[in-house]
Amino acid sequence: MTKFYKSTLFGGAALALFALSAYQTKINDKPADPVYDNLDQSVSPRDDFFKYANGGWLKRNPIPAAYSSWGIGNVVSEQLRDRLKKINEDALKANAPKGSSTQKIGDFYYSGLDSVNIEKQGTSPIKAQLDLIDQATDIAGILNAAAILTTTGTRNFIGSGVRQDAKNSAKTLVQLNQTGLGLPNRDYYFKTDARTTKIRADYTTTHLPTMLKLSGWDEQRATQGAASVFKIEKFLADSSRKLENLRDPYHNYNKMTIAQLGKLTPNINWPALFGKMEYKQAIDTVIVGQPEYYRAVNTALSSFSIDDWKAYLRWKLISSYAPYLNSAVDAESFRFSGKVISGRKEQLPRWKRVLDTENGLMGELLGQLFVKEYFPAEAKQRYTDMVEAIRQAYREHIAKLDWMSPETKQKALIKLNAIHPKVGYPDKWKDFSNMQIGRESYAANVMQARRWAYLFNINKLGKPIDHTEWGMTPQTYNASYSPSNNEITLPAAQFSIPGVKDSEVDDAVAYGYVAASTIGHEITHGFDDEGRLFDAKGNLRAWWTATDSVKFTQRAKVLADQFSGYVVLDSLHVNGKATLGENIADLGGIALGIDAFKKTKQYKEGKLINGLTPMQRFFLGYALGWLGQERDEALANQILTDVHAPGFLRVNGPFSDVPEFYKAFGVKKGDKMWIDPDKRVKIW
């Protein structure tokens, strides 16, 4: 994924104009300039470019109480919510036919706003699932409950899904991966620093027992159940891989027959379990990402009591549906996940939360309405052309590499030329006709939508790959690269700059903001430390010479070490190994964006805009994409759980490796942004 600040919960839309005053400020009656207006000229660009580029905006826009971070993605999202609100309110009044998109949109929104009914229902929308858990008397009963909970989107200790075979991208297989934890990841169970220790104490002594009590248990049983939950989770965490170890596609590819899987986990009857999970065909082969995790699950099933497991599954269920149940459950869920983990001070208004949920579950229904109005053909063509400009720059970079052999270069060019770009919105939309939505229950609607998504996924098994399918909605302020499909997805929203029409964004800013930080970044993911292991057809296969692989790894290690040296908060360092892929993509995207921009008319003419050269505006455009700030709690969580470095380091870090940056801003030895030339990283 490309953006951290851009990757907001809700996403955004490709809106031509925004009404937010923070972006419509005029200086001396001049039109808004999306980069000049944000400057903090009290900060030297040679010491902290991120603050120089974005500090003015950050000073004027503190983080609102309901958010753990605030930046450009949030600005996009706020405007989008207002527009989605109108669409939903219109749908409420439309009296649309049952089964129509308008009916589903309107009824979902109605059910989410009907707080009186939500309060009256309490936890009754999940009563059938709670009863299912209570009825378990043995391991088979626990597995049966876990399987059925999975079909309606409740994550538990079985993490399954249908995905492409990494070594044969034309086929899909059932894949099993580690899951099952209630804290953000394994490190939260073992780290002993004060911040993590405090979170863990709250989780065990307050949050878990409170949630179990709210699920219907008395205080004594809830307290005992909380201890059971934590024992199981800590046991599973001990056999869960660390963040950086989940990025090795070979290490996380373990193909097994069902018989071999059965030997790994003799306490689990997998054919029976898959039947309960509603797979319609016999499964003879699976890919297990982390076998040691499933070995631990097998041991845990016989090591912990049935009552322990009942508490665990009850916790998984109540936590999964907490935001859609009565206020007491919702409030405690937010207290821990929103306040303790993320540092937010208050909840978003209910209408915003409902829209966020709706967008996550049925976003393509909404997306169809948005692209018609907010993503003109001219914008689609501009960024389609920009993809090809970046691709051509990459061809030239590969040809000039002094460390790569002709043999590997030829195969790299084949892969580059085969990358398929998806720009703006899908050519074919998903069919939501089988999703049942009504006004009776908000939680039930969420359950139905999750079930639709689950069935949509498992029904891919054994079918040809649908290369028209999008994994993102057009109104998502983010982008992605798929190694198995060798494709980049660039949603319409990703090209938006608030307060400025697309036609008014000069190429310098656009090439930094889009060509470098998004298009170049995503294409480079095909050649980062993980993506480079997949060939032009998306198969995990060795296509590099051994010597070239060694040379790449040596260069990548320098970048990993550079980022591991950054201290972010307290004693927390960036995890250079875990963030390596994103950092390679950032650095590559900047280098490609620069060379593509150098071919434009604006660069060649060299005219100043607001006293800034074209190349200075390019770097400011890139920094605009990372405009944002986080609360300490959210920042600490990101360092432990995210493969992206904090936004400010995704500007300052790679810029310190780029020669054109030094020239554009006169960076000299002794400046904080300076890195000695022999220590600067150049990969692509």
Domain extent for 282: 136-324
Which segments of 375-496 does DSSP mark as H helices, in order? 377-400, 406-418, 442-458
Q: Find the CATH number of the domain harbouring 511.
A: 3.40.390.10
Q: Looking at the structure, do residues 614 and 488 belong to the same domain, yes or no?
A: yes
Q: Looking at the structure, do residues 494 and 547 belong to the same domain, yes or no?
A: yes
Last residue of a domain, one of 324, 341, 369: 324
pLDDT computed for residue 461 by the predictor: 97
pLDDT computed for residue 30 by the predictor: 62
Which segments of 155-281 does DSSP mark as H helices, in order? 194-202, 208-214, 219-238, 258-264, 270-276
Q: pLDDT grade, residue 349 (50/70/90)?
A: very high
Structure tokens at 308: 């322990």
Q: Find the CATH number of the domain harbouring 226.
A: 1.10.1380.10
* pTM for the structure as a whole: 0.93
pLDDT computed for residue 87 by the predictor: 87
pLDDT digits (tens, 9 = 90+) for 18-50: 333 334 344 445 668 999 999 999 999 999 999
Contacts of 127 (CB under 8 A, 6+ apart): none
Q: Looking at the structure, do residues 509 and 649 belong to the same domain, yes or no?
A: yes
Average pLDDT on 616-640 reads 97
Average pLDDT on 491-507 reads 89
Q: Looking at the structure, do residues 314 and 389 belong to the same domain, yes or no?
A: no
Give the integer Cα–Cα distance in Å for 112 and 110.
5
Q: Looking at the structure, do residues 71 and 153 belong to the same domain, yes or no?
A: no
Q: pLDDT grade, residue 371 (50/70/90)?
A: confident
Give the integer Cα–Cα distance in Å for 156 and 71.
33
Tell me the DSSP string of 517-577.
IIIIHHHHHTTSTTGGGB-TTS-B---S-HHHHHHHHHHHHHHHHHHHT-EEETTEEP-TT
Contacts of 36 (CB under 8 A, 6+ apart): 27, 609, 610, 611, 612, 620
The pairing of strands 285-288 and 628-630 is unpaired
Is residue 87 domain-resident?
no
3-state secondary structure of 161: strand
Q: Looking at the structure, do residues 536 and 603 belong to the same domain, yes or no?
A: yes
Q: Looking at the structure, do residues 574 and 652 belong to the same domain, yes or no?
A: yes
Q: Looking at the structure, do residues 230 and 155 belong to the same domain, yes or no?
A: yes
Is residue 120 domain-resident?
no
Is residue 373 domain-resident?
yes
Is the pLDDT confidence value at 388 over 60?
yes
Quote the Cα angle for 291-297-300, to 5°: 145
Q: pLDDT grade, residue 374 (50/70/90)?
A: confident
Least-confidence region, from 134-143, 299-308, 467-476, 511-520: 467-476
Half-sphere exposure of 48 (CA within 13 A, CB side): 11
Give the integer Cα–Cα distance in Å for 589 and 518.
7
Q: Looking at the structure, do residues 303 and 389 belong to the same domain, yes or no?
A: no
> In angstroms, what CA-CA distances link 211 with 82, 320, 325, 332?
33, 11, 12, 7
pLDDT computed for residue 13 by the predictor: 30
Is residue 305 domain-resident?
yes
pLDDT digits (tens, 9 = 90+) for 413-426: 999 999 999 999 99
Compute CA 223 distance to the chain's CA centroid, rounded to the nearest angstrom: 34
Average pLDDT on 71-99 reads 90
* Average pLDDT over the chain, rounded to an integer: 94
Contacts of 607 (CB under 8 A, 6+ apart): 614
Give the integer Cα–Cα distance in Å for 75 and 629.
13
Is residue 202 domain-resident?
yes
Structural domain tally of the chain? Answer: 2
Is residue 91 domain-resident?
no
Is the pLDDT confidence value at 12 over 90?
no
Last residue of a domain, one of 305, 324, 343: 324
Is residue 191 domain-resident?
yes
